[in-house]
Amino acid sequence: MLALQARALSKTYRKAKRPALDGVDLDVASGQIFTMLGRNGAGKTTFLRIASTQLLPSSGSITVLGLDAVKQAKELREKIAMTPQEAETVYPLTPRDHVLLSLRMRGMEKAEAEKRAQRALDDLELSDVADTNSDWLSGGLKQRVIVAMALRTDAELIYLDEPSIGLDPLSRRKVWDQLTLLKKTGKTIILTTHYMDEAEALSDNLVIIDKGKVVASGTPRSVKAAVTSRATRVDVFDKFTQNELEAYGHVVSIAGRHRVLTDADGARKLGDTAVERGASIAIAPVTLDDVFVDIVGESEKEEEHEG
Ligand SMILES: Nc1ncnc2c1ncn2[C@@H]1O[C@H](COP(=O)(O)OP(=O)(O)OP(=O)(O)O)[C@@H](O)[C@H]1O
Ligand SMILES: [Mg+2]
Protein backbone atom coordinates (compact mmCIF):
# COMPACT_ATOMS: atom_id res chain seq x y z
CA MET A 1 0.00 0.00 0.00
CA LEU A 2 1.10 3.52 -0.68
CA ALA A 3 1.49 5.96 2.20
CA LEU A 4 2.13 8.89 -0.10
CA GLN A 5 1.65 9.55 -3.76
CA ALA A 6 2.55 12.82 -5.48
CA ARG A 7 1.79 13.50 -9.13
CA ALA A 8 3.16 16.41 -11.13
CA LEU A 9 3.46 18.32 -7.88
CA SER A 10 4.70 21.86 -8.38
CA LYS A 11 5.16 24.89 -6.20
CA THR A 12 6.26 28.35 -7.19
CA TYR A 13 6.57 30.76 -4.30
CA ARG A 14 5.27 34.25 -4.87
CA LYS A 15 7.78 36.46 -6.68
CA ALA A 16 10.11 33.47 -7.21
CA LYS A 17 11.83 33.22 -10.59
CA ARG A 18 11.77 29.48 -10.79
CA PRO A 19 9.62 26.81 -9.18
CA ALA A 20 10.77 25.31 -5.87
CA LEU A 21 9.09 22.07 -6.94
CA ASP A 22 8.73 21.29 -10.59
CA GLY A 23 6.52 18.35 -11.52
CA VAL A 24 7.45 15.89 -8.80
CA ASP A 25 6.13 12.33 -9.11
CA LEU A 26 6.81 10.33 -6.01
CA ASP A 27 5.54 7.15 -4.34
CA VAL A 28 6.26 6.12 -0.77
CA ALA A 29 5.20 2.64 0.30
CA SER A 30 3.76 2.41 3.78
CA GLY A 31 5.95 1.01 6.51
CA GLN A 32 9.11 2.32 4.92
CA ILE A 33 11.83 4.74 5.80
CA PHE A 34 12.00 7.04 2.82
CA THR A 35 14.72 9.65 2.42
CA MET A 36 14.86 12.83 0.40
CA LEU A 37 18.30 14.04 -0.62
CA GLY A 38 19.26 17.19 -2.44
CA ARG A 39 21.36 20.30 -2.25
CA ASN A 40 20.38 23.34 -0.19
CA GLY A 41 17.37 24.86 -1.87
CA ALA A 42 16.52 21.73 -3.87
CA GLY A 43 12.92 21.73 -2.62
CA LYS A 44 12.89 19.09 0.14
CA THR A 45 11.36 21.25 2.87
CA THR A 46 8.86 22.65 0.39
CA PHE A 47 7.77 19.11 -0.41
CA LEU A 48 7.44 18.15 3.26
CA ARG A 49 5.49 21.30 4.03
CA ILE A 50 3.00 20.50 1.28
CA ALA A 51 2.81 16.84 2.29
CA SER A 52 2.13 17.86 5.89
CA THR A 53 -0.63 20.31 4.85
CA GLN A 54 1.25 23.46 5.91
CA LEU A 55 1.62 24.79 2.40
CA LEU A 56 -0.54 24.62 -0.71
CA PRO A 57 0.91 23.35 -3.98
CA SER A 58 0.65 25.52 -7.13
CA SER A 59 -0.44 22.51 -9.17
CA GLY A 60 -0.44 18.74 -9.21
CA SER A 61 -1.84 16.33 -6.66
CA ILE A 62 -0.73 14.72 -3.45
CA THR A 63 -2.42 11.93 -1.55
CA VAL A 64 -1.20 10.95 1.90
CA LEU A 65 -2.58 7.92 3.77
CA GLY A 66 -5.38 7.82 1.24
CA LEU A 67 -6.37 11.44 1.88
CA ASP A 68 -6.01 14.42 -0.43
CA ALA A 69 -3.46 16.64 1.33
CA VAL A 70 -5.23 19.76 0.04
CA LYS A 71 -8.92 18.91 0.23
CA GLN A 72 -8.77 16.64 3.28
CA ALA A 73 -6.06 18.49 5.17
CA LYS A 74 -7.92 18.57 8.47
CA GLU A 75 -8.47 14.81 8.61
CA LEU A 76 -4.93 14.17 7.47
CA ARG A 77 -3.38 16.30 10.22
CA GLU A 78 -4.58 13.85 12.84
CA LYS A 79 -2.66 11.02 11.22
CA ILE A 80 0.69 12.67 10.68
CA ALA A 81 3.43 14.24 12.77
CA MET A 82 6.24 16.48 11.68
CA THR A 83 9.59 17.59 12.99
CA PRO A 84 10.27 20.82 11.12
CA GLN A 85 13.71 21.95 10.03
CA GLU A 86 15.28 24.39 12.49
CA ALA A 87 12.65 23.83 15.16
CA GLU A 88 13.68 25.28 18.50
CA THR A 89 12.97 24.46 22.09
CA VAL A 90 11.01 27.04 24.03
CA TYR A 91 12.13 28.81 27.21
CA PRO A 92 11.38 27.95 30.04
CA LEU A 93 9.90 24.54 29.24
CA THR A 94 11.75 21.37 30.16
CA PRO A 95 12.35 18.52 27.71
CA ARG A 96 9.54 16.61 29.41
CA ASP A 97 7.19 19.59 28.97
CA HIS A 98 8.01 19.68 25.27
CA VAL A 99 7.30 16.02 24.66
CA LEU A 100 4.19 16.03 26.86
CA LEU A 101 2.85 19.11 25.16
CA SER A 102 3.28 17.63 21.70
CA LEU A 103 1.35 14.51 22.75
CA ARG A 104 -1.37 16.37 24.64
CA MET A 105 -1.90 18.74 21.74
CA ARG A 106 -2.76 15.74 19.63
CA GLY A 107 -5.52 14.96 22.08
CA MET A 108 -3.79 12.17 23.95
CA GLU A 109 -5.12 11.47 27.41
CA LYS A 110 -2.85 12.63 30.29
CA ALA A 111 -1.71 9.33 31.81
CA GLU A 112 -0.97 7.84 28.39
CA ALA A 113 0.90 10.98 27.35
CA GLU A 114 3.02 10.89 30.50
CA LYS A 115 3.93 7.27 29.92
CA ARG A 116 4.83 7.86 26.30
CA ALA A 117 6.78 11.03 27.09
CA GLN A 118 8.93 9.14 29.58
CA ARG A 119 9.56 6.49 26.97
CA ALA A 120 10.54 8.99 24.29
CA LEU A 121 12.90 10.69 26.74
CA ASP A 122 14.47 7.34 27.67
CA ASP A 123 14.76 6.30 24.03
CA LEU A 124 16.75 9.38 23.15
CA GLU A 125 18.79 9.32 26.36
CA LEU A 126 17.27 12.49 27.70
CA SER A 127 16.08 11.16 31.06
CA ASP A 128 18.92 12.82 32.98
CA VAL A 129 17.99 16.26 31.68
CA ALA A 130 14.25 15.66 31.36
CA ASP A 131 13.31 18.16 34.04
CA THR A 132 15.87 20.89 33.51
CA ASN A 133 15.30 24.13 31.63
CA SER A 134 15.72 23.39 27.91
CA ASP A 135 17.67 26.61 27.51
CA TRP A 136 20.55 25.08 29.43
CA LEU A 137 20.90 22.17 27.04
CA SER A 138 23.56 21.93 24.35
CA GLY A 139 22.47 22.29 20.72
CA GLY A 140 22.54 18.56 20.07
CA LEU A 141 20.48 17.80 23.18
CA LYS A 142 17.91 20.40 22.12
CA GLN A 143 17.70 18.71 18.73
CA ARG A 144 17.09 15.36 20.44
CA VAL A 145 14.22 16.96 22.37
CA ILE A 146 12.73 18.08 19.05
CA VAL A 147 12.95 14.55 17.66
CA ALA A 148 11.55 13.10 20.90
CA MET A 149 8.45 15.25 20.39
CA ALA A 150 7.52 13.28 17.28
CA LEU A 151 8.71 9.86 18.41
CA ARG A 152 5.83 8.52 20.50
CA THR A 153 2.82 10.20 18.93
CA ASP A 154 0.08 8.02 17.49
CA ALA A 155 0.75 9.36 13.99
CA GLU A 156 0.87 6.77 11.21
CA LEU A 157 3.32 8.81 9.20
CA ILE A 158 6.14 10.93 10.54
CA TYR A 159 8.01 13.59 8.61
CA LEU A 160 11.44 14.53 9.90
CA ASP A 161 13.17 17.44 8.23
CA GLU A 162 16.89 16.99 8.96
CA PRO A 163 16.40 15.18 12.26
CA SER A 164 20.08 14.53 12.86
CA ILE A 165 21.40 18.02 12.25
CA GLY A 166 23.97 18.95 14.88
CA LEU A 167 24.04 15.51 16.46
CA ASP A 168 27.30 13.78 17.33
CA PRO A 169 27.93 10.42 15.61
CA LEU A 170 26.68 8.38 18.57
CA SER A 171 23.52 10.43 18.99
CA ARG A 172 22.83 10.13 15.28
CA ARG A 173 22.97 6.37 15.56
CA LYS A 174 20.65 6.53 18.54
CA VAL A 175 18.14 8.38 16.36
CA TRP A 176 18.63 5.85 13.54
CA ASP A 177 17.92 3.01 15.97
CA GLN A 178 14.74 4.69 17.13
CA LEU A 179 13.53 5.33 13.60
CA THR A 180 14.21 1.73 12.66
CA LEU A 181 12.26 0.55 15.72
CA LEU A 182 9.39 2.87 14.78
CA LYS A 183 9.32 1.41 11.32
CA LYS A 184 8.99 -2.05 12.83
CA THR A 185 5.77 -0.94 14.48
CA GLY A 186 4.37 -0.30 11.00
CA LYS A 187 4.83 3.46 10.76
CA THR A 188 6.02 5.26 7.68
CA ILE A 189 8.90 7.67 8.06
CA ILE A 190 9.87 10.31 5.54
CA LEU A 191 13.01 12.23 6.28
CA THR A 192 15.51 14.57 4.72
CA THR A 193 19.20 14.54 5.44
CA HIS A 194 22.50 15.80 4.11
CA TYR A 195 24.33 12.79 5.51
CA MET A 196 24.73 10.22 2.77
CA ASP A 197 25.83 7.50 5.16
CA GLU A 198 22.61 8.08 7.07
CA ALA A 199 20.54 7.74 3.91
CA GLU A 200 22.41 4.60 2.97
CA ALA A 201 22.09 3.01 6.38
CA LEU A 202 18.46 3.88 7.03
CA SER A 203 16.43 4.14 3.87
CA ASP A 204 14.37 1.52 2.16
CA ASN A 205 13.97 3.95 -0.70
CA LEU A 206 15.24 7.40 -1.48
CA VAL A 207 15.00 10.20 -4.00
CA ILE A 208 17.53 12.77 -5.02
CA ILE A 209 15.87 16.10 -5.75
CA ASP A 210 17.63 18.75 -7.75
CA LYS A 211 16.16 22.16 -8.50
CA GLY A 212 12.67 20.94 -7.72
CA LYS A 213 12.86 17.80 -9.84
CA VAL A 214 13.41 14.15 -8.97
CA VAL A 215 16.70 13.20 -10.62
CA ALA A 216 17.18 9.74 -9.11
CA SER A 217 15.05 7.34 -7.10
CA GLY A 218 15.06 3.79 -5.82
CA THR A 219 16.76 1.79 -3.11
CA PRO A 220 20.21 3.05 -2.06
CA ARG A 221 21.64 0.08 -3.91
CA SER A 222 19.68 0.62 -7.12
CA VAL A 223 20.43 4.34 -7.16
CA LYS A 224 24.10 3.50 -6.97
CA ALA A 225 23.75 0.79 -9.61
CA ALA A 226 21.96 3.17 -11.97
CA VAL A 227 25.26 4.86 -12.64
CA THR A 228 26.98 1.64 -13.74
CA SER A 229 29.26 3.58 -16.01
CA ARG A 230 30.71 5.09 -12.83
CA ALA A 231 30.31 2.32 -10.31
CA THR A 232 33.96 2.38 -9.32
CA ARG A 233 35.95 5.17 -7.78
CA VAL A 234 39.67 5.58 -7.91
CA ASP A 235 41.33 7.96 -5.49
CA VAL A 236 44.58 9.21 -6.98
CA PHE A 237 47.02 10.64 -4.48
CA ASP A 238 49.98 11.71 -6.66
CA LYS A 239 51.75 11.70 -10.03
CA PHE A 240 48.70 12.52 -12.17
CA THR A 241 47.28 15.83 -13.32
CA GLN A 242 43.55 16.38 -13.41
CA ASN A 243 43.69 16.73 -17.21
CA GLU A 244 45.31 13.34 -17.65
CA LEU A 245 42.74 11.70 -15.42
CA GLU A 246 39.81 13.02 -17.47
CA ALA A 247 40.67 10.28 -20.01
CA TYR A 248 39.69 7.58 -17.50
CA GLY A 249 36.36 8.88 -16.28
CA HIS A 250 34.64 11.69 -14.46
CA VAL A 251 37.09 13.54 -12.22
CA VAL A 252 36.07 15.21 -9.00
CA SER A 253 38.92 17.23 -7.54
CA ILE A 254 38.72 18.66 -4.08
CA ALA A 255 41.61 20.34 -2.27
CA GLY A 256 44.15 18.99 -4.74
CA ARG A 257 42.99 15.39 -4.34
CA HIS A 258 41.52 13.67 -7.36
CA ARG A 259 38.74 11.11 -7.37
CA VAL A 260 37.92 9.41 -10.68
CA LEU A 261 34.45 7.92 -11.05
CA THR A 262 34.63 5.28 -13.73
CA ASP A 263 33.65 1.77 -14.84
CA ALA A 264 35.60 -1.44 -14.23
CA ASP A 265 37.53 -1.04 -17.47
CA GLY A 266 38.53 2.54 -16.73
CA ALA A 267 39.65 1.55 -13.23
CA ARG A 268 41.78 -1.28 -14.64
CA LYS A 269 43.49 0.97 -17.19
CA LEU A 270 44.12 3.67 -14.63
CA GLY A 271 45.43 1.00 -12.25
CA ASP A 272 47.91 -0.24 -14.87
CA THR A 273 49.23 3.25 -15.57
CA ALA A 274 49.47 3.97 -11.85
CA VAL A 275 51.54 0.84 -11.29
CA GLU A 276 53.89 1.80 -14.14
CA ARG A 277 54.40 5.23 -12.59
CA GLY A 278 54.57 4.05 -9.02
CA ALA A 279 51.64 6.27 -8.11
CA SER A 280 49.49 5.76 -5.03
CA ILE A 281 45.85 5.02 -5.76
CA ALA A 282 42.93 3.38 -3.99
CA ILE A 283 40.10 1.58 -5.80
CA ALA A 284 36.66 1.00 -4.26
CA PRO A 285 32.99 0.78 -5.24
CA VAL A 286 31.23 4.14 -5.25
CA THR A 287 29.24 5.25 -2.23
CA LEU A 288 25.98 7.15 -2.26
CA ASP A 289 28.07 10.22 -1.58
CA ASP A 290 29.91 9.80 -4.90
CA VAL A 291 26.66 9.17 -6.75
CA PHE A 292 25.16 12.32 -5.27
CA VAL A 293 28.16 14.44 -6.28
CA ASP A 294 28.10 12.84 -9.71
CA ILE A 295 24.40 13.36 -10.42
CA VAL A 296 23.94 16.74 -8.81
CA GLY A 297 27.39 18.05 -9.80
CA GLU A 298 26.67 17.18 -13.41
CA SER A 299 23.54 19.34 -13.49
CA GLU A 300 25.55 22.19 -11.98
CA LYS A 301 28.04 21.98 -14.86
CA GLU A 302 25.26 22.02 -17.45
CA GLU A 303 23.95 25.15 -15.81
CA GLU A 304 27.35 26.85 -16.11
CA HIS A 305 27.32 26.06 -19.81
CA GLU A 306 23.88 27.53 -20.22
CA GLY A 307 25.30 30.65 -18.52
N1 LIG B 1 8.72 30.96 2.00
C2 LIG B 1 9.42 31.03 0.86
N3 LIG B 1 9.26 32.07 0.00
C4 LIG B 1 9.95 32.12 -1.15
N5 LIG B 1 10.84 31.20 -1.55
C6 LIG B 1 11.06 30.15 -0.73
C7 LIG B 1 10.36 30.02 0.52
N8 LIG B 1 10.78 28.87 1.11
C9 LIG B 1 11.69 28.33 0.28
N10 LIG B 1 11.86 29.09 -0.83
C11 LIG B 1 12.73 28.78 -1.99
O12 LIG B 1 12.33 27.54 -2.53
C13 LIG B 1 13.45 26.76 -2.91
C14 LIG B 1 13.42 25.42 -2.19
O15 LIG B 1 13.63 25.64 -0.80
P16 LIG B 1 13.50 24.48 0.27
O17 LIG B 1 13.54 25.09 1.61
O18 LIG B 1 12.36 23.61 -0.07
O19 LIG B 1 14.87 23.67 -0.01
P20 LIG B 1 15.54 22.47 0.80
O21 LIG B 1 15.79 21.39 -0.19
O22 LIG B 1 14.75 22.14 1.99
O23 LIG B 1 16.95 23.10 1.22
P24 LIG B 1 17.85 22.86 2.55
O25 LIG B 1 18.64 21.61 2.32
O26 LIG B 1 18.73 24.06 2.58
O27 LIG B 1 16.94 22.79 3.72
C28 LIG B 1 14.67 27.61 -2.61
O29 LIG B 1 15.04 28.26 -3.79
C30 LIG B 1 14.17 28.58 -1.57
O31 LIG B 1 14.88 29.79 -1.65
MG1 LIG C 1 15.09 22.18 3.98
- Residue with CA closest to ligand 1 atom 4: 13
Q: Each residue of 18-38: pLDDT tens digit? A: 999 999 999 999 999 999 999
The three state secondary structure string of the chain is CEEEEEEEEEECCCCCCCCCEEEEEEEEECCCEEEEECCCCCCHHHHHHHHCCCCCCCEEEEEECCEECCCCHHHHHCCEEEECCCCCCCCCCCHHHHHHHHHHCCCCCHHHHHHHHHHHHHHCCCHHHCCCCHHHCCHHHHHHHHHHHHHCCCCCEEEEECCCCCCCHHHHHHHHHHHHHHHHCCCEEEEECCCHHHHHHHCCEEEEEECCEEEEEECHHHHHHCCHHHCEEEEECCCCCHHHHCCCCEEEEECCEEEEEECHHHHHHHHHHHHHHCCCEEEEECCHHHHHHHHHHHHHHHHHHHC
Mean pLDDT along residues 46-62: 98
Question: How much distance in Å is there from the Cα of 260 to the middle of ligand 2?
Answer: 30
Question: How much distance in Å is there from the Cα of 177 to the middle of ligand 1?
Answer: 29
Ligand 1 neighbour 40 (Cβ under 6 A): yes
Question: How much distance in Å is there from the Cα of 38 to the middle of ligand 2?
Answer: 9
**Domains of the chain: residue spans and CATH:** 2-221 (3.40.50.300), 228-285 (3.30.70)
Q: Each residue of 83-139: pLDDT tens digit? A: 999 889 998 899 999 999 999 999 999 999 999 999 999 999 999 999 999 999 999
Q: Each residue of 278-298: pLDDT tens digit? A: 999 999 999 999 889 888 876
